[in-house]
Chain A
């Protein structure tokens, strides 16, 4: 591929050939979600659906503020509300914006068996390329944060793109721009880590002794990070304490590659069955847009 664009793709699912690694100077981007400033207004949810031209079903009230109550193929981010008492009698209403964390070491991409269905860009964004998606659901299992959702309508996996279309023209993601209280910010990964650590210090000064930055090592750090009031107990908000790419997925990607080649014949057969079951893995011819 001579496409300049392709140089931005630094990782690609189920691809044995090396991906270009030349864009080393591309800045890594990151989104920082400061829980201490989040009022759970759901502006980010609405901005997300408006930017991405999504409209989920109109649900019902099941006794909570969370609506939709979980991520769906059409709701790429949702607010989750937690009424907790970290210390006896001290009620806190923790509100967490849930969505793709854009891991530096993305479990979904590693688990994905379909070539090029999941890519990682040089700036750190992990994106799904739907035309390559076969709807197998491995990304769901490979994700330590339980983020991707498979649509029943088209059997494709969907999740937050970190507004890759906005970011690629130099804009911030839609949720970042809309956030009324400045709870979501966006910048280079370095800047966001520095800002997140500073916010954690500021929160400690205000009495949140356990405030801290959530940027878990186990997935190589994330391009969506949180400042948590209780960084010592991320489980309070349904966040894994030490997320990592499943050793099984890592194993498969690391040591079993030769096995893959060895079992080509079997794969042909399985591929045939997959074709019969869900139809062809369609690929659209795309006009190259170099210089356009």
Chain B
């Protein structure tokens, strides 16, 4: 979330699309109902189903699964063609004025530079023109046909309401009604927020779904403002924190891009990741990358990371390929993996195409499952009849199951969706012999270190040198770990030379051994250590700020600055400089968040997300992480194009991309990765005519709460949902057992026949949806059921590789 849960109460309009906040985040949704009651805010829900969120909404519009970009692109067209944008904001805070390269083009579903064989783009024609000074060329009049604004206008003019309706199935009048309601927030004193979740990410165009919305929020002037923002409502309690710790192959803690084979030296590695300002006076905050990375290496290797050994750069593994979870299971399926550690994760249920996953796990030599609960993954080898039809005698995988403590049984921090890090204390001992994950990992490591010390082995040096300063080596205390994450000074941190008085002797900012007060103190010379730069400040010299419980809200804007600690730098709204105009005055005086007081941005409701002394006339942009200082309407970083474009799901009930009906190669995302074998496993509309989607229910969380009796009582058994029309066609009645099949598998469950799902008119044909809640399996106290991922396709978003759980094809019949 760019904003916070409690900030939602400041909004004038809430759009829920690509999510179902009432269902999945009821306690966060309270701030929506609060805004509706106290501010008379309106709530719009756009969803294939009339959801629990829709039940309390002011306006609901249906949409076909997987067509959100078409819908949102139509909104962009509406805003631009009717001149309903917050123009001053757009010119100040986006790249609208920037000139794109001459070679940039878009034609018939492809952007310039497409390579069909590699399914990827050569992006050299994308991006901005730069002048001799290295800065981007701009046109403040927005008239130059090459400027981003005009390119964007041209690109989205194609998304007429008529065409949008034909693609999405949203009736034109309903689409236009939503457009009008959104457009009203282009007024400087009106703000809209968008709450989305996995309904947008779990598509092969997931990242672009979100980007399209971000563009709308920028055009309406709603980013960085109280009551605004683009708000991802995330899943697990600490999914944000684990994302921040970067348990991913491609990034190191703090979102530092991890080295690949191309980064043969540390110098090259740092150079390609260190930002340089693209416009004058911009902060280009990534120019601090070497400080963050060096401090991380000091946290990992302590005294063993020295200037002489390039701060242990060679010990950092280099990536040669993708190792996301789909890639891992693909490798497993190909027999290229021997071992698999699986911590608090139930991939047999949580990754698409159960059949493939099960076959992959069976090829492993050993599998270690660490979990508080008996997961399906841990028993993938066990026969549960049709629910898990395997023969244990033919599965040679050695499977270990380690009992772990759950949240109530350990101390430590969670980071919520709005980036607030909060400390919690252990309430009870774990049951039996269960142990915290950190202790299990520590014991395992200590054991390995002993084995390497005793017996030697391949590359033992980094194992021996891994910084392990914990009082109890087998059980590091969470407080020790959080202090390490925060970082400390290894030598005195000195002030940089004062430009006004270069001869003045530097002063000591942080004494050696002290905790760092924030990331501004990080150095690239090895004098600081920091496990995650964005968390710097959470346990500074004054102690553990994540344990703060002061719930006062001085401005009444729902900021709570002394409750826990929000990364970065305790900021509660990101890009908050954008809440004020070019002169530093708040766009809406009734929601004053930050203002320039003549000498500083400080003293507002929140920590300024800009250098506090950056006077407005210096033109320092609000988007400090971007070298251009502004937000990107045109983004070269995206795999499938600098402007989001509609592509059909890989399994499409239409079979053609109506934006480029003659290009068979651009029906679905042309840059998405598809493995051999998975392509053949896609179903076609002739055999599987119904658009299916999977989702969560409010009574359950993934595959955990089926182990909880309270939750089993209120939602006991598997079901699928279909509309009344489809039920009639198929002769299915309320509560009948039905069989839902995709080209990969099937599930059998009770059928909920509902008026809340209606057939949509898509390009002149009726499209029916089949809804499939995901919560059942063959373990737990609920009624047993088929794992829903027996149905889903093994393909992910072109940028994030998040699987396409939200749009695929099925058939349905009475069981």
Where the two chains meet, the residues of A that have a C-beta atom closer than 8 Å to any C-beta of B are: 36-43, 45-46, 49-50, 55-65, 67-68, 75, 83, 85, 91-95, 180-183, 202, 205-207
Contacts and interface: CB of A to CB of B under 8 A. Distances in A.
A192 to B, nearest CB: 16
A202 B34 CA distance: 13
B709 interface: yes
A101 to B, nearest CB: 22
A35 B27 CA distance: 17
A49 B713 contact: yes
Residue among B55, B699, B736 with the highest chain A CB neighbour number at 10 A: B55
B157 interface: no
A181 B713 contact: no
B344 interface: no
Contacts of A59: 713, 716-717
Given A38-B56, A58-B782, A182-B34, A63 B713 contact: no
B33 A58 contact: no
A131 B756 CA distance: 46
29 contacts: A38-B56, A43-B26, A57-B713, A58-B781, A59-B716, A60-B750, A60-B783, A62-B734, A63-B736, A63-B753, A64-B734, A64-B752, A75-B713, A83-B755, A83-B756, A85-B755, A91-B755, A91-B756, A94-B55, A180-B26, A180-B29, A180-B30, A181-B26, A181-B29, A181-B56, A182-B34, A183-B33, A202-B37, A205-B40
Q: Is the interface of A mostly helix, strand, loop or mixed?
A: loop
Contact of A49 (B23, B33, B710, B781): B710
Nearest to A203: B37
Contact of B756 (A43, A49, A93): A93
Interface in B748-777: 749-756
Given A40-B52, A60-B783, A68 B713 contact: yes
A62 B56 CA distance: 25
B29 A39 contact: yes
Interface in B641-687: none
A63 B709 contact: no
Contacts of A183: 33
A181 B33 contact: yes
B734 to A, nearest CB: 4
Report which residue of B56, B751, B754, B781 has the largest number of chain A beta carbons within 10 angstroms of its beta carbon: B56
A95 B23 CA distance: 14
B52 A39 contact: yes
Given A39-B26, A59-B716, A180-B27, A46 B734 contact: no
Contacts of A181: 22, 26, 29-30, 33, 56
Contacts of B750: 60-63
A60 B710 contact: no
B408 to A, nearest CB: 15
B711 interface: yes
Contacts of B570: none
Please indicate which of the listed interface residues A39, A59, A63, A67 has the most CB atoms of chain B within 10 Å of its own CB.
A39
A58 B716 contact: yes
B50 interface: yes
Interface string B704-729: 00000111111111110000000000
A180 to B, nearest CB: 4
B710 A46 contact: yes
A63 B53 contact: no
Contacts, number: 125
Contacts of B711: 46
Contacts of B58: 206-207
Nearest to B34: A182
B735 interface: yes
A180 B30 CA distance: 6
Nearest to A81: B55
Contacts of B781: 58
A194 B791 CA distance: 52
A85 B758 CA distance: 14
Given A46-B710, A91-B50, A206-B40, 12 more contacts: A37-B33, A37-B37, A42-B715, A59-B716, A67-B714, A67-B715, A75-B713, A83-B755, A93-B52, A181-B56, A182-B33, A183-B33
B31 to A, nearest CB: 9
B698 interface: yes
A225 B783 CA distance: 35
Of A46, A60, A63, chain B has the most CB atoms within 10 Å of the CB of A63
A51 to B, nearest CB: 11
Given A38-B56, A41-B52, A61 B716 contact: yes
A67 B783 CA distance: 13
B783 to A, nearest CB: 6
Which one of B714, B719, B734, B755 has the greatest number of beta carbons of chain A within 10 Å?
Answer: B714
B714 A55 contact: no
Contacts of B733: 63
A83 B754 contact: yes
Tell me if B's interface is mostly helix, strand, loop or mixed.
mixed
Interface centre among A41, A55, A92 (most CB of B within 10 A): A41
Nearest to A206: B58
Given A46-B710, A46-B711, A58 B783 contact: yes
A76 to B, nearest CB: 12
B699 A42 contact: yes
Given A39-B29, A39-B698, A63-B736, A58 B713 contact: yes
Nearest to A65: B752
Contacts of A42: 698-699, 714-715
B54 interface: yes
Which 7 pairs, one residue from A and one from B, show the smallest C-beta to C-beta distance? A63-B735, A63-B734, A180-B26, A39-B22, A61-B717, A93-B55, A61-B750
Nearest to B20: A39
A39 to B, nearest CB: 4
B714 A46 contact: yes
Nearest to A92: B55
Nearest to B749: A61
A181 to B, nearest CB: 4
B681 to A, nearest CB: 29
A58 B708 CA distance: 11
Contacts of B709: 55, 58
B769 to A, nearest CB: 15
A59 B751 CA distance: 15
Contacts of A56: 713
A93 B50 contact: yes
B52 A67 contact: no
A50 B52 contact: no
B719 A61 contact: yes
A33 to B, nearest CB: 13
B713 A39 contact: no
Interface in B9-55: 22-23, 26-27, 29-30, 33-34, 37, 40, 50, 52-55
A248 to B, nearest CB: 36
Nearest to B724: A83
Nearest to B785: A61
A92 to B, nearest CB: 8
Nearest to B714: A42
Contacts of B55: 38-40, 92-95
Contacts of A49: 710, 713
A46 B756 CA distance: 25
Nearest to B732: A63
Contacts of A46: 710-711, 713-714
Nearest to A74: B713
B697 to A, nearest CB: 9
A39 B716 contact: no
Q: Most A CB atoms within 10 A — which of B50, B713, B734?
A: B713
Contacts of B710: 46, 49-50, 55
A92 B58 CA distance: 11
Contact of B752 (A36, A40, A63, A92): A63
A32 to B, nearest CB: 13
A91 B754 CA distance: 11
A9 to B, nearest CB: 33
Instruction: Give the residue among A68, A180, A202 with the most B Cβ atoms within 10 A.
Output: A180
A41 B717 contact: no
